[in-house]
C-alpha cells in the first residue's frame, strides 16, 4: 500500500506543536511505515509538494504566513489546523490590542533584551504584519481542527490513525489536553 504523503508548516507559533510530534517517541517508527514526511521544519525540502495531508501549526500574523497557508491549501488534500494558535489564534492574539506600529516598537526598540541604539525598525526586509493575528480558517478552509497547547502525542497518533483509515477526525473534548 502506498504511503500517505505529509507536509507540515510552522507559522506564527512557538516550537511546541512541532516538538510535540517528537513526544510520540518510538511510536514514530510505525507511523513512518505508513507516512512519508515530504515537507516540514524537520526535513530539508524547499518547495511544498502535492500531499495527502497538510498540518499547519501557528496563527497568521503577516503576509508571508498568509502566502504559506494558501500554498498549503492548494497542495494538500486535507488541511489540519494543529494547536491553539492555528485553531484560535492562540497567544499571538495578545498583540491584537495594540496598533501594529506599537507592536513593532515593542519588538525592535522597547524590549529590554533588544540592542538597537538607533531605534531602527526594519521595513522592506521583514514580511508586513497583518493588523491582527488571526486563526488560519479566516483565510483558508480547514478540514480538521486539533486544539491543544500543544496537542499531546496520543492525540497526534489518534488523528493520524483516523486520517490513515480514511476518516476525517473530530477530536473529542476529553482529548483536548493542555499538558
The distance of closest approach from Cβ of residue 50 to ligand SF4 in the complex, given in angstroms and rounded to an integer, is: 25
The distance of closest approach from Cβ of residue 10 to ligand SF4 in the complex, given in angstroms and rounded to an integer, is: 8
Is there a contact between 12 and 133 (Cβ–Cβ < 8 Å)? yes
With respect to ligand SF4, which residue has the nearer C-beta, 5 or 60?
60
Is there a contact between 11 and 60 (Cβ–Cβ < 8 Å)? yes
With respect to ligand SF4, which residue has the nearer C-beta, 89 or 169?
89
Distances (CA, A) of 26 to 5, 19, 104, 116, 153: 20, 14, 42, 45, 11
With respect to ligand SF4, which residue has the nearer C-beta, 23 or 143?
23
31's enclosing H/E stretch is helix 27-32
The distance of closest approach from Cβ of residue 111 to ligand SF4 in the complex, given in angstroms and rounded to an integer, is: 19
With respect to ligand SF4, which residue has the nearer C-beta, 47 or 97?
97
**Rounded Cα gap, residues 118 and 35, in angstroms:** 50
CA-angle at 45, arms to 136 and 139, nearest 5°: 15
Mention every residue, 6+ apart, whose C-beta is less than 8 A from residue 70.
139, 140
**What cell does 177 get?**
489536553
With respect to ligand SF4, which residue has the nearer C-beta, 17 or 35?
17
- Residue ranges that bind ligand SF4, judged by CB under 6 A: 13-14, 16-17, 57-58, 83-85, 90-91, 149-150
**Rounded Cα gap, residues 123 and 35, in angstroms:** 40
The distance of closest approach from Cβ of residue 17 to ligand SF4 in the complex, given in angstroms and rounded to an integer, is: 3
The distance of closest approach from Cβ of residue 167 to ligand SF4 in the complex, given in angstroms and rounded to an integer, is: 24
The distance of closest approach from Cβ of residue 35 to ligand SF4 in the complex, given in angstroms and rounded to an integer, is: 20
Q: Which residue is nearest to ligand SF4 (CB)?
A: 16
With respect to ligand SF4, which residue has the nearer C-beta, 1 or 173?
173
Amino acid at each position: 500500500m502506498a504511503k500517505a504523503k505529509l507536509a507540515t508548516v510552522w507559522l506564527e507559533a512557538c516550537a511546541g506543536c512541532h516538538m510535540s510530534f517528537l513526544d510520540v517517541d518510538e511510536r514514530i517508527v510505525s507511523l513512518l511505515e505508513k507516512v512519508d514526511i515530504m515537507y516540514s521544519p524537520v526535513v530539508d525540502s524547499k518547495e511544498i509538494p502535492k500531499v495527502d495531508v497538510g498540518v499547519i501549526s501557528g496563527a497568521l500574523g503577516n503576509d508571508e504566513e498568509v502566502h504559506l497557508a494558501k500554498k498549503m491549501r492548494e497542495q494538500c488534500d486535507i488541511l489540519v489546523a494543529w494547536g491553539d494558535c492555528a485553531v484560535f489564534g492562540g497567544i499571538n492574539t495578545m498583540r491584537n490590542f495594540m496598533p501594529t506600529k506599537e507592536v513593532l516598537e515593542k519588538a525592535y526598540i522597547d524590549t529590554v533584551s533588544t540592542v538597537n541604539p538607533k531605534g531602527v525598525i526594519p521595513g522592506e526586509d521583514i514580511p508586513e504584519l497583518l493588523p491582527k493575528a488571526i486563526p488560519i480558517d479566516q483565510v483558508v478552509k480547514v478540514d480538521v481542527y486539533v486544539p491543544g497547547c500543544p496537542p499531546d502525542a496520543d492525540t497526534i497518533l489518534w488523528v493520524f490513525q483516523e486520517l490513515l483509515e480514511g476518516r476525517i477526525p473530530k477530536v473529542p473534548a476529553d482529548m483536548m489536553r493542555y499538558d
